[in-house]
Amino acid sequence: MSAPPVIALDRLTKDYGQRRALGPLTLEVPAGRVGLLGPNGAGKSTLIKCLLGLVRPTSGRGTVLGFDIARRPLALRERVGYFPEVDCHVPDVSAAELVTLMGELAGLPRPDAIRRAHEVLDYVGLAEERYRPVGGYSAGMRQRVKLAQAIVHDPELLLLDEPTNALDPVSRERMLELIRDLGERRGMSIVYSSHLLSDVERVCDHVVILRGGAVIAQGRLADLRRGEGGAVDARVAGPAEALAAFRARLAAAGVAADDQQGGAVRLTGPDLSRVTLEAAREAGVQLRAFRPVRATLEDVFMEAVAAPAAPAGGG
């Protein structure tokens, strides 16, 4: 029996006046680390705010960790951590005080909130600086404080909205490590919204791609990267006539061969392994490399975004 989804949306929509910002969205997000991708204005942040109950959906319904987002937002917020996209802090308080306050607001008794605040601030790498007012922190430190306040109450689900924004490469690396650790080793489910594909690729094992408020692609990252055609990059060597014969045999079997940089040939078509091996043997060419093409997340994203609007699963 498969685990219940952490997020389940049923024809969820959100309108701002006449403008539809989201949906209708039907979506099930499994436990684990899920990337939420989409170009600017795709509805990622609106979706996250809907999931937290910060924004009331116009129609449809949804549950997060089994709690209805419209009817039980307080119960779900006790179990969800939120890392907002915007720079936000409580003025004139230190990181230790801010994180303690956020823990208490999430329902932790004060002694527990104080202890947890120091634990998570240690975890995100804020040492003595935790006693300084957050207003004087660098952008990287503020992002770490935002992560600390999001996990102080030990949430089951962490909603991260552009967590590596404004970070230098070292801080970004550290942030990604922390997020990956929380998801992989601490068992927290993570929804990671970003337009930085490489970050999502490093942290997530599932992705949901939004465009214009609708889901246009979703699934396991490994499946999406495999690609539909199952293309193969091959490298062959032999006399020119043999190579020509090889290409002719491939063409006859319905396999397209496109020259790539560095002498490789990208083959696409049915039953590639058998057809290519037979064509090489019959034409007398040496098959020196035969490697399935693994699309990057960027390929998947660009392909999904460029395709005409035909929502995948999400309505």
Partner 1 sequence: MPVVASGYRRWEGVRRGRAWRWLVLARAGVRLTGRSRWLFRFILMAWLPLLYYGVAFFVVGQLTEQRTIDAARGMWQFDVLRGMFGTPLAERFIEDPAGHRPAIWSALIYMFLHYTQIFCVMIVVALVGPRLVSEDLRSRALTLYLARPITRLDYIVGKLAVVCFWVGTVTLLPALALYALSIAFSPSVEALTHTIAVVPRVTLVSLALMVGTGAPMLALSAVFPNPRLLAFLWAGAWLMSSVASRVLGLALFPGTREGDWTGLVSVSANFDAIAFRVFDIDGLLRPAAEVSPRLLRTLERFTPGHDPLWSVALLLAVAALSLAVVAVRVGRPGEASAR
Residues contributing to the site for partner 1 (CB under 8 A):
16, 21, 45-46, 49, 52, 54-56, 73-75, 77-78, 82, 84, 86-93, 97, 101-102, 104-109, 112, 116, 119-120, 122-123, 127, 135, 149, 151, 153-154, 181-182, 186
| Minimum CB–partner distance for residue 126 and partner 1 (Å) | 11
Nearer CB in complex with partner 1: 119/233: 119
Measured CA to CA, the distance from residue 259 to residue 174 in angstroms comes to 40
Nearer CB in complex with partner 1: 131/289: 131
| Minimum CB–partner distance for residue 167 and partner 1 (Å) | 19
| Minimum CB–partner distance for residue 43 and partner 1 (Å) | 9
In contact, 186 and 279? CB cutoff 8 Å: no
Going from the C-alpha of 301 to that of each of 39, 227, 295, the distances in angstroms are 9, 12, 10
| Minimum CB–partner distance for residue 158 and partner 1 (Å) | 11
Nearer CB in complex with partner 1: 52/208: 52
DSSP annotation of 253: T
Nearer CB in complex with partner 1: 63/276: 63
Nearer CB in complex with partner 1: 109/254: 109
Nearer CB in complex with partner 1: 95/221: 95
| Minimum CB–partner distance for residue 193 and partner 1 (Å) | 13
Nearer CB in complex with partner 1: 123/290: 123
Measured CA to CA, the distance from residue 53 to residue 281 in angstroms comes to 63
Nearer CB in complex with partner 1: 34/102: 102
Both tokens of residue 279? 């064509």
Sign of CA pseudo-dihedral 280, 285, 288, 294 = negative
Who's near 64: CB < 8 A, 6+ residues apart?
A: 6, 7, 51, 52, 76, 80, 157
| Minimum CB–partner distance for residue 98 and partner 1 (Å) | 8
| Minimum CB–partner distance for residue 79 and partner 1 (Å) | 9
- CB count in 10 Å sphere of residue 83: 23
At 240, which helix (H) or strand (E)? Answer: helix 240-252
| Minimum CB–partner distance for residue 168 and partner 1 (Å) | 20
Nearer CB in complex with partner 1: 31/236: 31
Going from the C-alpha of 100 to that of each of 75, 85, 108, 129, 148, the distances in angstroms are 20, 21, 9, 15, 10
Both tokens of residue 156? 């089951």
Report the chain's terminal Cα–Cα distance, integer Å. 26
| Minimum CB–partner distance for residue 184 and partner 1 (Å) | 11
Measured CA to CA, the distance from residue 209 to residue 314 in angstroms comes to 10
Nearest residue to 57 (alpha-carbon basis) of 84, 22, 19, 6: 22
- State the residue for tokens 């970004």: 172
- State the residue for tokens 């696409």: 268
- CB count in 10 Å sphere of residue 106: 19
